Structures are given as structure tokens and as C-alpha cells.
Structure 1
Amino acid sequence: MRVQTILAHPLPDSFAAAVHRTAADTLRDAGHEVAETDLYAQGFEPALTAAERAAYHRPDYDTTAVAPLVERLRWADALVLVYPHWWFDMPAIMKGYFDRVWAPGVAFRHDPAGGTIRPLLTNLRHVAVLTSFGSPWWINALGLRHPSRRILRVGVVGACAPKARFHWRALYDMDRSTPDTRARFLAAAAADMRRLG
């Protein structure tokens, strides 16, 4: 299987970077073809430009500025997204990846009649998220009802890649994590990657 892993963390020695390395290495060891993407390291610009927004509903929407990422998205059978949650949401650079790369003509097609969008990412069989939260699980689950997971699973992946199986693994209470809890998470993430596909 062809898998694109995407890291969204500015520090190369972060726990997210360690999770990303574990995921990519495990996938390769399992025989998958892996393309690694580090959004910060490659200097990805997350802000939708004025020209991109102005052309968003035109049939000839231009993705030239993000062409390598579009090519990788179309190439992949699976995506593995690795990022922390800050203020209960993905980092701005990851949100910008969806804004700019999961674009019209790439991830979906607008309905000319103004109805629901038409999905185009029929190549994706799996989308996995490996993430962390500074807060305990119950704040996100009971207090907020997992907003970012619901938005990504239903509003983004569900709308653009409805055939993809959605996988989620989160380390909660990261601010008080220990070497043992982090090691257990890395082992669980590796097991998830071995089961992927």
C-alpha cells in the first residue's frame, strides 16, 4: 500500500516527531511504500491566498502552488496525520494543508446546483490520526464531545473520501505524561500501523 505520512510540528525533537518516525518506520517494515511529508520543514504556507479564495468556486481552480502535495495526495492509498492539539484543534499549518491541498478539483467537486460537494478522493482507503492533547481525556470527551475528531472524520474525510476507514489514536494529558506513558503510546501507534491495510 502507498502511504503518505504528514507531520505538523515545528520542533524536530518533539514527541510528535517521534510518533511520526515510529509510524513511518513501522509502515516501511510492514512492506508499505511510504512518502513522508513534514509541513514545517518544507516551509509549507498554510494561508489560503486571495487568488485561491477568489477562484474557489471556478471549475478551473489552480493548485499549481501546492502541486507536489496534490500529487502525493492523489498517489496515496492511505494518509497518516501526526500532530498535537493546541486549544483543542489541529495546528494552523495542518488546517492550512486541508484548506489549500484538499481543494476543489482535487478532494471534491462543487455541485453546480449548490448542493453537497462530490467526493473525489476515491483512492484513499485509510486515514489515520496519531495525536496528543495537553488536557485529560474527559475534558475533550465529556466537556467538548471530541470536536476536532468529529469535524475531521465527518466533515472532511467523510465528505471527500467517504470510502476511507478513519482511525484515531490520542495521548491525553500530554502535559503530565511520563516516559512510560509516551513509550506505551508509541507502541500502540506502531501496532496501529502494522494493522493498517
Structure 2
Amino acid sequence: MTAVFDRDALSEALGQTGQGDRAAFRRVYEATSAKLMGVCLRILSDRQLAEDVMQEIYLTVWNKAASFDPGRASPITWLVTIARNRSIDRLRSGAIARNSVPVDAAYDLADGAPSALDHIELADDAGRLGVCLDELDEKVSRVIRTAFFEGVTYEVLAQREETPLGTMKSWIRRGLLKLRSCLEQ
């Protein structure tokens, strides 16, 4: 369970830790361990290493708490600085095996996003479709757009247009055939 401390309470607990008070040290740990673990994980990106560094951090806190000066920094700033520095030291020590791969290996990685050419082709297709839809009878163009771009069913379209369902289906079918012919040109 994480304890919540205000700045003054944490400063006091650090001062007591500097005097060898184990209960105060426990309060400091309970109040700050989650935050400091987050700092370590963000820098190290490895939970096991972060846990190892956390031991070093609290060993440092136990040994140096007497040197904490609340007039110079807030207690959490002092603790985060220790966590950050220990984590960076661990990174620099080479303890993390770097999985470096030559840049040429990235060539074979697939990118799921459409390419620029795909965007151009899609825009061109959309433009051609718009031109072909505009060549249709206005009513047929409107019901095709409504059916396929808005997902409205043929039944609902027939009701809106006050037209029999069979007639609506015929309008759309003939309109789609004209669209296909126009798009194939």
C-alpha cells in the first residue's frame, strides 16, 4: 500500500531516516517507491534492472538521508534525482544488452500505413468516382451515395423516396452498371 505524504512529512521522515530510524525509512519507501520505480522503468525499460536499481536507490537514501536539505530541494525532487542518476549510471555501465541491428534491416520491415502512392491513387479514384457519380441522374446519384457512403438500406431509401422497393433496387443496379462503365474508361 502506498502511503501519501505531503512535502513536510516526507522531509521529516527523511531527516529521521538520516538518524537511523527504520520506521521512518519504511514510511519514505512506502510513500515514494511507486514513483521512483516509474522513473527507473522509464529510463531502463526493463523491470528486473529497475528493481535492482531500486535497491541501490534506497541503500543510497539510507546512507545519505542525513545530507538531505529541505531548503535546497523538495524531498521528492531529491529522491527522483537519485533514481534518475542511478538509472542512467546503470545504462552507461552497459548492463543492458543493446539489440542493435544494422539500419539496412529496416528495409524489410513492413509498414501497415498506406504509402504516398496509395494516397495519390485513392484520391485519384475518389475523384474519378465523384465525376462518374455526377454524370448519373441526380436522383440515382443521390440514392447510390446515400446507400453506399451512409449505409442506408434499400428499404429505407425506398421509403424516403416514396418508391417501391423493386424500383429502388433497379435504380441502384442500373446506376452501378453506369458507374462501372464510366470508371473503366
Structure with greater contact order relative to length (CA < 8 Å, sep ≥ 6) = 1
From the CA coordinates, give the structure whose radius of gyration is larger. 2
More strand by share: 1
State the TM-score bracket (shorter-chain normalisation): under 0.3
Q: Could you tell me the TM-score, scaled by structure 1's length?
A: 0.21
* Higher helix residue share: 2
